[in-house]
């Protein structure tokens, strides 16, 4: 029940669908934060969300369309959806790479997304390759105005950084965590030296231990079809999925004494500290 939900997630926005797939007359029945919901578009294009199976329409939720997706909040959102100016930048292609169901905490998905250390071992010959295993030092800070977490000046050598890459590249990354379950990265664009490709994740926590992950990109790439670009990202995520589903404990431990990471990764430590600071409880391992 939403009344018992952690207020941090109750009053936040979550993506539940790509906007182009929500058509009038075809309501989406899904689950968000353990709550069964229906989301639908009327013929006049207006959007609606409510508890699914409720006898009366007393559980209507806030819903909006932004950046190519449908967003729902089960509570009273304390702030607007984050800023993404690249979405309307001329020449960029927005690519909806589909949605994956993952039997893991959504927080594990974001933590893994931020981790460069696994590239050579999990995404071998694509995002990394031995002996190029070093994660060089980078900066991590919280933006004082937006409270977003940023990791900047990240660099990693990659054999095939993007579908448009023709050779190995020393790739620069910036990571951004806009919400506990929302992250994006900005990385060297192989075809435009003055621009960065943007790749992001919207995680819909179905429950504390299960989620749906929507993958998207905003790219400069005139050579590849949507299908080719989507296949590239799906290959990457398909390599992450079984590892994410096997991670234990299922809920993320935030007490720094409760887990000694096997890979002491700066972004993982910063992400967990940031989650502690905002007081997140949902998807977090409870103290014994």
Rounded to the nearest whole angstrom, what is the least distance from the CB of residue 54 to Fe ion in the complex? 39
- CB nearer to Fe ion: give 28 or 201: 201
- CB nearer to Fe ion: give 185 or 189: 185
Sign of CA dihedral 161, 138, 257, 8: negative
Rounded to the nearest whole angstrom, what is the least distance from the CB of residue 243 to Fe ion in the complex? 8
- CB nearer to Fe ion: give 50 or 109: 109
| Residue 72: closest CA among 59, 63, 81 | 63
Rounded to the nearest whole angstrom, what is the least distance from the CB of residue 152 to Fe ion in the complex? 20
- The CA radius of gyration of the chain, in Å to the nearest whole number, is 19
Distance separating alpha carbons of residues 152 and 149, to the nearest angstrom: 10
Q: Which residue is nearest to Fe ion (CB)?
A: 240
Distance separating alpha carbons of residues 280 and 261, to the nearest angstrom: 20
Between helix 266-277 and helix 106-113 the angle, nearest 10°, is: 140
Rounded to the nearest whole angstrom, what is the least distance from the CB of residue 240 to Fe ion in the complex? 4
- CB nearer to Fe ion: give 13 or 186: 186
Distance separating alpha carbons of residues 197 and 203, to the nearest angstrom: 20
Neighbouring CB atoms inside 10 A of 35's CB total 19
- CB nearer to Fe ion: give 169 or 236: 236
- Sheet with 139-142: list strands edge to edge: 93-102, 210-219, 196-207, 182-188, 169-179, 149-158, 139-142
- CB nearer to Fe ion: give 114 or 284: 114
Query: Site residues (CB under 5 A) for Fe ion?
Result: 240
DSSP notation for 86-109? GGG-TTPEEEEEEEEEESS-HHHH
Rounded to the nearest whole angstrom, what is the least distance from the CB of residue 173 to Fe ion in the complex? 13
- CB nearer to Fe ion: give 49 or 114: 114
DSSP notation for 60-79? EEEEEEETTEEEEESS--SS
Structure token digits, residue 126: 């694509």
Rounded to the nearest whole angstrom, what is the least distance from the CB of residue 177 to Fe ion in the complex? 16
Rounded to the nearest whole angstrom, what is the least distance from the CB of residue 117 to Fe ion in the complex? 10
């Amino acid at each position: 029940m939403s009344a018992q939900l952690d207020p941090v997630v109750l009053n936040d926005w979550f993506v539940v669908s790509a906007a182009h797939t929500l058509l009038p007359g075809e309501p989406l029945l899904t689950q968000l934060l353990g709550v069964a919901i229906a989301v639908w578009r009327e013929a006049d294009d207006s959007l609606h969300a409510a508890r699914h199976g409720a006898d009366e329409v007393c559980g209507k939720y806030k819903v909006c369309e932004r950046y190519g997706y449908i967003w729902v909040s089960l509570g009273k959102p304390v702030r607007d959806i984050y800023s993404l100016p690249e979405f309307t930048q001329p020449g960029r292609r927005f690519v909806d790479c589909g949605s994956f169901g993952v039997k893991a905490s959504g927080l594990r998905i974001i933590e893994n997304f931020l981790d460069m250390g696994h590239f050579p071992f999990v995404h071998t010959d694509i995002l990394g390759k031995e002996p190029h295993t070093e994660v060089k030092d980078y900066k991590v800070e919280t933006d004082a105005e937006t409270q977003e977490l940023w990791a900047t000046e990240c660099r990693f050598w990659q054999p095939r950084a993007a579908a448009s890459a023709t050779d190995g590249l020393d790739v620069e990354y910036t990571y951004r965590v806009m919400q506990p379950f929302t992250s994006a990265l900005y990385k060297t664009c192989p075809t435009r030296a003055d621009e960065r490709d943007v790749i992001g994740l919207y995680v819909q926590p179905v429950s504390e231990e299960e989620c749906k992950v929507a993958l998207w990109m905003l790219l400069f790439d005139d050579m590849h079809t949507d299908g080719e670009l989507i296949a590239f990202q799906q290959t990457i995520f398909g390599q992450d999925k079984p590892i994410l589903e096997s991670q234990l404990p299922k809920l993320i431990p935030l007490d720094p004494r409760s887990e000694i990471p096997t890979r002491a990764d700066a972004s993982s430590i910063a992400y967990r500290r940031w989650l502690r600071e905002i007081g997140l409880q949902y998807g977090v391992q409870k103290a014994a």
